Chain A
């Protein structure tokens, strides 16, 4: 009992002195604490056994009385008394070897701390305690997510938990409650140097995001970014480490939500503001910045890949880019498969595979156009023929069916060359025969895969969907989508089954450049068009104000836009 009273007396003094740092130093929860905390636990178990009595609460209320605080001093408050009671119960009941009970115990304490932190005047003294408790809770939950049997036990054993919410979500909610309290602090304006709880807005945002990313639940961050956009302080007012970490997190969030332009903007700024000395951090940024740009139609340059923080990235990303450039689905699949484990671990594999397929299709159709139209153009002994710039969809289907077979394991090979003809066959006859065959060699044939059965393709591995054979009715919509996305410039003439290039004259007669504008240029053009439509809709009285084209919800820039 004496130790409990002594501990509470020290806590009271820290509160009266408004000494949040000292309070945080006292209110420890992990097992690497000085021995006195275990003696405190022993004292609690003997003086206040777990028997339903409110003796502990009464002791706390008595040792931490609510008083009128003198000027420049503080006083305990009801939420703090409740939190301190919970804190002592935590030490009385804690069992660090039982993660299920530890989670329940710490989770209650964390929630109680978030409640006490909500006090508009005194709450700020719990800032450090809230942070260390949130960090401990995050570590525990991240550790638990790798142990599904324990997760199940915790969910089954808790009557309070909403069954529709995961443990990660519940913990993130508590941290977000603390974050919201920081956001609502009115001691400083949005664009003035932060004071009070507001100094920790981005620290708690980053903590929440780290937890959500570690558990693959980034979608729960949407509300937090909405709140930041509505009333968050300018990011530029915060220390560089918080800015870079936040922009990295925001970039990853947009990457997860397939908004690669916003992801690029955040990650670019994070990279620019991160000194070269922090190679590990810059590498983490590049891990998502490079794929964001590839998905926007821009490839990393050699000078970027030669930077020390990009070590090893050449081998991963260059083969992928080369396959996209060539429109070669086989090379694309090989490049993805070769680094599948790494791409998968980073959460990039599925996004790159599914999203980049459209760019491979773009280059594939371009290649077929180069092979067919240019050939027609120079037909007749190299004489230029002024033919309409069109791509036959039948040609695309033929080429797609061929590639699909190769993906299924068929092997392109030539039949063995016929044996030398008998000596009596004339040389003139032989020359005539060989000239009639394409290229003077045997035709290329597709031999069935080993074992005779086509390889079973995953849905995203096939050109259309798994082993589905590409036909006109499936290829035409793919080409139409390319036109819609702006990757192909022209229109589909359905009756003649062709894609007709527009604007060749404008492009100096270069039908390839006119029909297949640069991929990045197409993506940005499409983005600009969407933005202009949003502006027009808003001007017509519909929809939300679109802001600036480069606005990134969640990223609060200074009033000047920096």
Chain B
């Protein structure tokens, strides 16, 4: 008997996950999925040409503020850091013994 594919397993896992969600969260997720339903194709534009003034490029639209370049995080008080800290200490201590 062939086992389920990873994709199928993922779908099953997702379905199981969704079934345990409160209705509001599930509804929110559905809404989000609906917002993402779309065509893959880059459709033909309904008009052939337009004026440069109609675009962001002409209206002084600066695309620099759209990106965040400095995003490093120095905070090590989160749970993941705490776990790593503890593991590092534990292994260091066992080496010293």
Contacts and interface: CB of A to CB of B under 8 A. Distances in A.
A, B co-complexed? yes
Interface of A: 210, 214, 239-241, 244-245, 248-249, 268-269, 271-278, 280-281, 283-284, 293, 297-301, 303-304, 311-312, 315-316, 321, 325-326, 328, 330-331, 337, 340-342, 345-346, 363, 366-368, 370-372, 375, 395, 398-399, 402-403, 412, 438-439, 443-444, 458, 512, 516, 518-521
Nearest to B42: A284
B32 interface: yes
Interface residues of B, number: 49
Contacts of A241: 44-45, 47-50
Contact of A273 (B57, B71, B78): B57
30 contacts: A210-B41, A210-B42, A239-B48, A240-B50, A245-B42, A275-B54, A281-B42, A293-B67, A298-B67, A298-B68, A299-B67, A304-B66, A304-B67, A316-B36, A326-B78, A330-B80, A363-B73, A367-B76, A368-B88, A371-B81, A398-B91, A399-B84, A403-B84, A412-B83, A438-B89, A438-B90, A443-B90, A516-B72, A519-B71, A520-B69
A155 B49 CA distance: 41
Contacts of A398: 87-88, 91
Interface string B21-60: 0000000000011011011111111011110101111000
A297 B42 contact: no
A516 to B, nearest CB: 7
9 closest pairs, A vs B, by CB? A241-B45, A272-B57, A239-B49, A312-B35, A298-B67, A304-B66, A275-B54, A402-B87, A312-B36
Which of B44, B52, B66 has the largest count of A CB atoms less than 10 A from its CB? B66
Contacts of B74: 370, 512
Contacts of A521: 69
Given A299-B67, A443-B86, 16 more contacts: A210-B41, A239-B49, A240-B48, A245-B42, A248-B42, A249-B42, A273-B57, A275-B54, A284-B38, A300-B66, A326-B78, A328-B80, A331-B80, A367-B81, A399-B88, A412-B83
Given A371-B76, A402-B83, A402-B84, A280 B57 contact: no
Contacts of A214: 40-41
Nearest to A368: B84
Contacts of B48: 239-241
Contacts of B71: 299, 321, 325, 519
A276 B56 CA distance: 8
